[in-house]
């Protein structure tokens, strides 16, 4: 299938090049009328050939390309990339459609619906065979350019167009937990993105783009535990991809708003709510050449404020800064390998390394955790995707996080280690195994413990790549946790147990 797609794409590309060359030759000024031709002839020099011209599709896609998320690192030769290119050929004159979906069903060992196993105090979990919901995103986007753009006249000297290029994107999301599988009213839908961007405005800075709206912005993730270590998504605006001697510079203003109870912490009254708002000024330097890869440097200044509740009380207003460094190395061991290392430090409102608020759960519900003065967080991660042979791929992750919430939670620590090795029996059938262990400590609650989880999942996919999608898998997951966490893991079915298991089936895809 891949070879057939590649052959067809190559033939279409050659045909398009011939047509563009013929059109360019017909519209180009002749030597007799071109003012540059006599000069070249008088100097006894041949006229310099025109630089190669990119198609409108290639140029616009490159201008708005995203490379932060793990699934954006899919090799160009993977079959799902060929399918995506085929869909783009069919739809490119109308709208681009992309998306992410996972769906299936699971049960636990006691006969109830699947509930994910996650350590108290951890911000993520090993995701294979441990996702207890259907979730999807459907993205509609369109690039806009003037009818006269992408012709040799008025092209720049490097062959790129001189007219502006715009992009609009909207992303719809859905969430359906397995516990409410038969209840259609429990399925929630959202408008995750709606934004526009305009670029190619300057000959000296053709990649620079201005944007505004609500968008996924600077999302760096670890795939096997679905953890976004840096995520400044939200509403606002800014400018991105300004070229500099050290890399590309982005600057943005991004805000978030919500409501939550906070009085009488740690047992707030859910009916007594106040408004919260968070303002983030984000300055990033990315694509910085470094040994063995490229660097990302993120600096955020954040201001969090709250209004008054019914009792006239307010959460503390805090201002904080955070720094993030991410080193990404692609193709360092093989054509499909990616290594990502990060180190982060943030204070007060900026310590979440996101544009939004951090929450905590109680028996009364889920509430925003206020940011105390002098609170801070330090985090370090290491993640690798490696495929040394067609029959084996591997992705390990290590994580350490220290947070001091001060009066709103004290000191908490989180250690996490896991891996997903996959044995590929042939191009389509594979067996994935994912062991994970998370250890957390909450000093204020005088509580610490571990949760171990292991999943075995036979899979069928389109090819033998680690990130090949769609994939259909069955799974069996077993988890064991400390006595200190009894009643906090596994839902009601395992409220008085220190271990449990789930089994089910799942499909996962993106394009």
Q: Is residue 484 part of a domain?
A: no
Q: Is residue 7 part of a domain?
A: no
228 forms beta bridges with 221
Q: What is the pTM of this model?
A: 0.82
CATH of the domain at 260: 2.40.170.10
Check if the beta carbon of residue 487 is closer than 8 Å to that of residue 495: yes
- How many domains does the chain divide into? 1
Q: Is residue 377 part of a domain?
A: yes
Strand (E) or helix (H) holding 107: strand 96-108
Q: Is residue 316 part of a domain?
A: yes
Domain containing residue 368? 207-409
In tens digits, the chain (511 residues) has pLDDT values of 566 656 665 666 666 566 555 544 444 443 333 333 333 333 344 444 444 445 666 666 777 777 777 766 655 555 555 656 666 666 556 788 889 999 999 999 999 999 999 999 999 999 999 999 999 999 999 888 766 655 545 566 666 677 888 999 999 999 999 888 777 788 899 999 999 999 988 888 989 999 999 999 999 999 999 999 999 999 999 999 999 999 999 999 999 888 887 765 666 777 778 888 999 999 999 999 999 999 999 999 999 998 887 778 787 889 999 999 999 998 877 777 899 999 999 999 999 999 988 888 777 778 888 888 999 999 999 999 999 999 999 999 999 999 999 988 899 999 999 999 999 999 999 999 999 999 999 998 899 999 999 999 999 998 999 999 999 999 999 999 999 999 999 999 999 999 999 999 999 999 8
Check if the beta carbon of residue 132 is closer than 8 Å to that of residue 179: yes
Check if the beta carbon of residue 308 is closer than 8 Å to that of residue 274: yes
| Residue 371: DSSP 8-state | P
Closest by CA position to 163, among listed 239, 59, 92, 62: 59
Return left, alpha or beta for 334; rule: phi > 0 is left, psi -120 to 50 is alpha, else beta. Answer: beta
List the structure tokens of 472: 């259909």
Q: Is residue 40 part of a domain?
A: no
Strand (E) or helix (H) holding 278: strand 273-290
Q: Is residue 425 part of a domain?
A: no
Predicted pLDDT at 75:
55
Predicted pLDDT at 4:
61
Q: Is residue 323 part of a domain?
A: yes
Closest by CA position to 257, among listed 369, 356, 370, 350: 356
Q: Is residue 125 part of a domain?
A: no
Predicted pLDDT at 145:
78
Cα–Cα distance measured from residue 168 to residue 145, given in angstroms and rounded to the nearest whole number:
12
Predicted pLDDT at 279:
95
Beta strands in 334-391 (DSSP E): 338-347, 359-362, 365-368, 376-389
Check if the beta carbon of residue 254 is closer than 8 Å to that of residue 286: no
């Amino acid at each position: 299938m891949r070879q057939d797609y590649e052959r067809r794409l190559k033939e279409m590309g050659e045909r398009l090049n011939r047509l563009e060359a013929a059109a360019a030759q017909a519209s180009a000024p002749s030597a007799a009328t071109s003012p540059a031709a006599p000069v070249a002839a008088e100097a006894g020099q041949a006229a310099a050939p025109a630089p190669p011209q990119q198609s409108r599709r290639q140029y616009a896609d490159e201008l708005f390309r995203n490379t932060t998320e793990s699934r954006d690192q899919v090799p160009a030769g993977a079959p799902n990339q060929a399918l995506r290119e085929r869909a783009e050929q069919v739809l490119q004159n109308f709208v681009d459609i992309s998306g992410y979906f996972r769906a299936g069903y699971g049960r636990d060992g006691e006969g109830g619906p699947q509930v994910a196993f996650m350590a108290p105090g951890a911000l993520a979990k090993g995701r294979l065979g441990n996702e207890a919901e259907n979730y999807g995103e459907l993205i509609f986007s369109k690039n806009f350019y003037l009818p006269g753009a992408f012709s040799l006249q008025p092209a720049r000297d490097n062959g790129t167009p001189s007219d502006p290029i715009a992009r609009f994107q909207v992303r719809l999301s859905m969430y359906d937990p397995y516990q409410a599988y038969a209840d259609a009213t429990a399925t929630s839908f959202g408008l995750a993105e709606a934004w526009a961007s305009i670029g190619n405005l300057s000959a000296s800075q053709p990649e620079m783009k201005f944007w505004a709206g609500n968008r996924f912005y600077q999302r760096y993730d670890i795939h096997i535990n679905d953890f976004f270590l840096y995520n400044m998504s939200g509403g606002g605006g800014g400018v991105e991809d300004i070229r500099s001697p050290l890399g590309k510079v982005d600057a943005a203003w991004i805000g978030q708003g919500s409501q939550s109870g906070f009085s009488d912490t740690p047992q707030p009254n859910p009916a007594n709510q106040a408004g919260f708002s968070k303002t983030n000024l984000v300055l990033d330097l990315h694509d910085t050449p470094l040994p063995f890869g490229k660097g990302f440097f993120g600096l955020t200044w954040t201001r969090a404020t709250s209004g008054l509740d019914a009792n006239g009380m307010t959460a503390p207003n805090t201002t904080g800064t955070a720094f993030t460094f991410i080193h990404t190395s692609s193709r360092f061991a093989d054509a499909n390998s990616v290594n990502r290392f990060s180190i982060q430090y943030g204070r007060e409102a900026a310590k979440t390394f996101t544009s939004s608020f951090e929450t905590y759960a109680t028996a009364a519900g889920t509430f925003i955790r206020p940011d105390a003065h002098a609170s801070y967080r330090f985090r370090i991660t290491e993640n690798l995707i490696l495929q040394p042979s067609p029959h084996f791929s591997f992705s390990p992750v290590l994580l350490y996080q220290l947070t001091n919430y001060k009066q709103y939670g004290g000191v908490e620590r989180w250690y996490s280690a896991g891996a997903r090795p996959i044995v590929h029996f042939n191009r389509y059938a594979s067996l994935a195994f994912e062991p994970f262990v998370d250890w957390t400590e909450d000093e204020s609650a005088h509580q610490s413990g571990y949760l171990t989880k292991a999943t075995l999942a036979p899979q069928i996919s389109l090819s033998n790549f680690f990130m090949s999608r769609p994939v259909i898998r069955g799974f069996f997951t077993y988890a064991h946790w400390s006595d200190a966490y009894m009643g906090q893991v596994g839902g009601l079915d395992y409220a008085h147990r220190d271990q449990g298991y789930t089994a089910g089936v799942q499909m996962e895809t993106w394009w």
